[in-house]
Structure 1
Amino acid sequence: MLNIRIEKTKNPKPLPAADDPLKFGTIFTDHMFIMNYETGKGWFDPRVVPYQKIELDPSAMVFHYGQEMFEGLKAYRSEDGKVLLFRPDKNIERANNTNRRICIPEIPEDIFLEAIKTVVKVDEAWVPSKPDTSLYIRPFIIATDPYLGVRPADTYLFMIILSPVGPYYPEGLNPVKIWIEDEYVRAVKGGIGEAKTGGNYVASLASQVKAHEEGYSQVLWLDGIERKYIEEVGAMNIFFKINGTVITPKLNGSILPGVTRDSCIQLCKKWGLTVEEKKISVDEVFKAAEDGTLEEVWGTGTAAVVSPVSHLRWENKVSKIKDGGIGELSKKLYENITGIQLGKIQGPDGWIEVVK
């Protein structure tokens, strides 16, 4: 067990008003978790402190070589007032996979989970209870050595900040329009596409701006070699239901292994649906749209949970998915996953962790 020092704020902020829309990622709670690392000493001094600015040397390695990782998960308020975490073990597993890939020291799972639970417990009053709201949890690690030179750092900060949020997309569960990128690439096998690190996301910004200017919510990436196989959306994994079969791109080293992606696959299989994780080309998708066998498209991610897709744009083609509405399966997945997260539906063993 960690001996976590807790220093509570003397100036608590007012909690969001009942009618506050909780715009995603804009409001932060009273406290944060911090833990240090030094080579030869390991992780030390775990503490919960008032939410505050951090001081870094201008030569801190994170600024110059991008050695940082982050994760995202949520805490939910159940009807009986409990605070629930959804599959935090999978986020911790993915965090340590990222750490290994970019040479950041791993954090033992029990220590990582205790840190999350402790800071959430301190700021438990910030966990909202309105429909479609939650407490977003952002663990991250940054390299802090004051050093200019390309090597893994010797010192790091592990931090967790919290943010009460509403829906990630302003549309909520309403279908979104997706822009399939045909100019830039985001990642290739052997790179860092499967790691949750900032470099993956900054590579997507130019396309994201272009897509938004054209009225599209997100960018869907193709593979970086042949530029023909579907990979993932900027903030989500992607699913297609074609002629009754659920298809999602196979994890190949350049696709982030989403926790919600895995949850959807498990639920679809439990319901008796055929699920295929495989390479699927953009040509196949548009052909299915043209011949009427493309029944549904949806994205999955911690932030949006399940996001139905109404339109796909690729080069000079725009395909409307069925009637542009919410598909039956994507709606069922959304209702079941959010039901499990809120403790209304019994999920598979181990999917829910209670913050005590």
Structure 2
Amino acid sequence: MKPFRLLHLPHLPFRKIASEINLVFLSLCSKKSRSAVKLSGIKPIKLAKQHRLTSHSIIIDFKNFWFFMSLKKREQLDDPEEFSAEYRIGEQVFKTKFYGDRGVLTFLCTDYYSAADQIVDYLKNTFNCELTEYKVSPEGYPDYRRLITETINDSKIRELDFGESSQGVNAEDVDFVLNNLNTDKMLCVSGHLDENYRLQNPLNFPYFFVSYAPWFRPEDLFNANCEHLAICFAEKLEPANINLYLKQWINGEYSRILSLRIESISFSSNHRDRDQQLFDGIETRPFDMKREFSDYKKSVFYSLLGNQFVDYQFWDIRRND
């Protein structure tokens, strides 16, 4: 059987086939293959750099697949001798190993930060794209304050994911992020804050997500000025708080909000009189499952999930205007 000469294809057939395969691997095969990938014009929708205690990595996300590249130091590995494939990226030659069962390409490095910079610069140049997101924790990126004020705020980076899932984060660190990150950025807080934590100022980001918020109070909800607000494990919020928020929204308040997601054990279907408390005095209509996602641009979508994440029920609620 003759080899399939992918790189000899005309532009459109090549682009169609290339969009279905791992373009990062293809670009690393040779100078010619990298040039073909660049000329294809295929761009990722997200390029993220991650520096956390548990993971130093780069994530590139295309519309139909995403690819995870991990950075490891030799002393972390049980099998450094198996890193046999070498790639020159920028000024460095990286030894690598592909873990097929996890779909992860791992690079050996001596310094996480310079290695990540080299790989990201390669991806930016190859795919004509920008870095869109940082995922950092104070333990993984100790100089995160300067990163925010000198890099993220003055760049095209759209999103910051701060903290580490299932691990604690200091109030002082979160306060710095909230007070110093530009309010045109999207912010996700992954670290766990103490339930006694209090916001110093109202939330004012276009998108704010917190994965664990036993500290989030009703006044934090009412004072938020966000387009997309997602709060998980918000145990201080009761159905009556959501009911009041909905009534105020119906009457014209919170005009900036486009989507709201609140998760709390008190919203579980097992909660006594949940629906009555949530929608008392509010006209609800059957949810139109045929509605297009684009129809939500000027409305609000509430996903009231129970603590098991399987308790989906939907209603339509309309503003008076």
| TM-score class normalised by the smaller sequence | under 0.3
Task: Report which of the two structures shows the higher radius of gyration computed on alpha carbons.
Answer: 2
- Between Structure 1 and Structure 2, the one with more helix by share is 2
Q: TM-score, length-normalised on structure 1?
A: 0.25
1 or 2 for the larger relative contact order (CA 8 Å, sep ≥6)?
1
